[in-house]
Amino acid sequence: MSQERMQFKTEVNKLLELMIHSLYSHKEIFLRELISNASDAIDKLRFHALTNDSLIEGDADYRIKLIADKDKNTLTVIDNGIGMTKDEAVKALGTIAHSGTKEFMQLLEKKENSPELIGQFGVGFYSSFMVADRVTVYSRKAGEDASVGIKWESTADGSFTVEPYEKNERGTKIVLHLKDDCKEYADEWEIKEIVRKYSDYISYPVVMDTTKKEDDKDVVTEEALNSMKAVWLKDKSEVQADEYNQFYRHVSHDYQDPAATIHFRAEGTSEFAALLFIPSKAPMNILYADFKSGPALYVRRVQIMEHCGELIPNWLRFIVGVVDSSDLPLNVSREILQNNRQVETIKNNITKKVLETLAKMKSSEPDKYLAFFKEFGRVLKEGVHFDFKRKEEIASLMVMESTDTENGKVTCLDDYLARMKTEQQEIYYITGKSRAELEKSPYLEALKEKELEVLFMTDEVDDIIISGLMEYKGKKFKSILKGDIDLGKEEEKKEAKEHFAKLTEKVKSVLGDSVSEVRLSSRLKDSPCVLVSGDSDIDPNLEAMLRQMGQPVPKRSKILELNPAHALIEKLNAEFEKNADSRKVADISELLYNQALILEGNMPADTARFASLLTKIMAETV
């Protein structure tokens, strides 16, 4: 194989361009990412060596070595991990196989340059080009012959080269040819500081040759720069907050402190230690199907999986950290994990601890909890739908605004129940895009007048979540957008129904299949009419979201409700009683329907006719 020149994929070129122009204020994180990748490569080798010890090649002294050369202005990172073949190098270093790449690039272009974006998006290798104008990678896959090693090189000019390279040692060596304005990264003291700041808890020694004076002579010795402490195995009383925060940054690639830390040890039928974190900010790809969730799984300090989704329910996928089991076998596979009683025990313990932590945060640190819920509330609410056993406990953690809260303030279901009127039997809620939009809704009119609190639910998925929950502590939920709402007195309702019976029939005949029914409303006070869905119909907010996604939505006629107390409806009825075939009655019926459509956020099917009718009616009244 001779040297081959290949082109980077388009998204890599764009990423490199952004990296080279130094959007990141914390350039030193490039070393954190390279050391983290090296650690992952050693983890993979150790895991594969459980079933094939020949891969170790007689060298079980796992380490990551840094070599700083001021004369050559280079920094080298060497690991004796799994290594790469030519095809693996081309794929790993020449493409970004990740959902949400477009959104990631947009964030970079907006200069939303949080350092965690690089690590979270799995593009840490490319951060090398923030400090280097040329990067050379030498690698050989463990177990392969020395002659099949490869050399990969790029100057970030849109292409890279790959060629054969005889490499006796397994693993990967990365040589960064530093830019003139990044010479400090070949400085011994600077490297030590970066490693201690970002990589102290890497499980393998990160070593470097350091020079010390002894008897007026320069003596070179190899020094381990990191502590390699298994923080999760220490007693809670021995760990300082800063240690937790540093370890969190290591496992999460985040640059902020976590919102909460959960550190516990379980003993008994299943023994394990867990150090888990609730992040402060949601990863931008958390809603993508290929989001890698779950804490790292260790068995007796040997990492088995970097992300073990079987250890947490999917609706807690924002949790990061480490779980170290004393009972699971070292050769555990995903198939074994899916049907393992001990894994289920660990999962239940973790879920219980996380829910307890969130409940405590909600009661004792409400502002902090609100910040958490804004980031992860949508994910947490999925648990109401998918975890029947815990759905009420999860629902108790939901917070939302309501007609009784100040703008920006929230309430919860327990507080709502405590404020319910004695005669009130249902929890009223309305779905929509924002509080500002919902506060103007005609659906609220009568409930406001009677001082009945209504919850504002502004996530697209809320109606699905509430429909799955159905009730909370014995009180059923009621969407004020759907079905009938019984707020009036029976005698008054009966009189109104008799008074307007023929008019509702007439309006239905005029509108035909556009509506499934025309009836009187007890939810309106100031508006003449409104469109209402059936109790089992899809929520309008969700329907709009599905249409935007191009999903098929079954067409259903809605119910037109007329306000019997409104002057317009009374005058319409008087006109109808005077002349049942009046053209004006038909025209106004059509206008009322289109007005209801607009209030709902939709447009009339025939806007030209709507405008014409409106002009005609206005001309007749002038």
pLDDT over 80 (residue 550): no
The three-point CA angle 177-179-181 to 5° equals: 150
Three-class DSSP category at 131? coil
pLDDT tens digits for 364-402? 999 999 999 999 999 999 999 999 999 999 999 999 999
pLDDT tens digits for 504-534? 999 999 999 999 999 999 889 999 999 998 8
Stretch 479-483: mean pLDDT? 90
Taking alpha carbons only, the member of 101, 84, 99 closest to residue 11 is: 101
Measured distance CA(431)–CA(523) in Å, rounded: 16
The reported pLDDT for the residue numbered 405 is 96
Stretch 292-316: mean pLDDT? 88
Stretch 253-267: mean pLDDT? 90
Stretch 323-339: mean pLDDT? 79
Q: Picking from 92-96, 388-392, 611-615, which range would have the lowest pLDDT averaged per residue?
A: 92-96
Stretch 526-546: mean pLDDT? 80
pLDDT above 90: percentage of residues in the chain: 58
Label residue 54 by pLDDT band (50, 70, 90).
Answer: very high
Measured distance CA(256)–CA(358) in Å, rounded: 19
Q: How many CB atoms lie within 10 A of CB 448?
A: 14
The reported pLDDT for the residue numbered 116 is 46
Label residue 229 by pLDDT band (50, 70, 90).
Answer: confident
Mean pLDDT in the chain? 88
Q: Which residues contact 552 (CB under 8 A, 6 or more apart)?
A: none
Q: How many CB atoms lie within 10 A of CB 535?
A: 10
Stretch 404-420: mean pLDDT? 96
Q: How many CB atoms lie within 10 A of CB 445?
A: 17
Stretch 425-432: mean pLDDT? 94
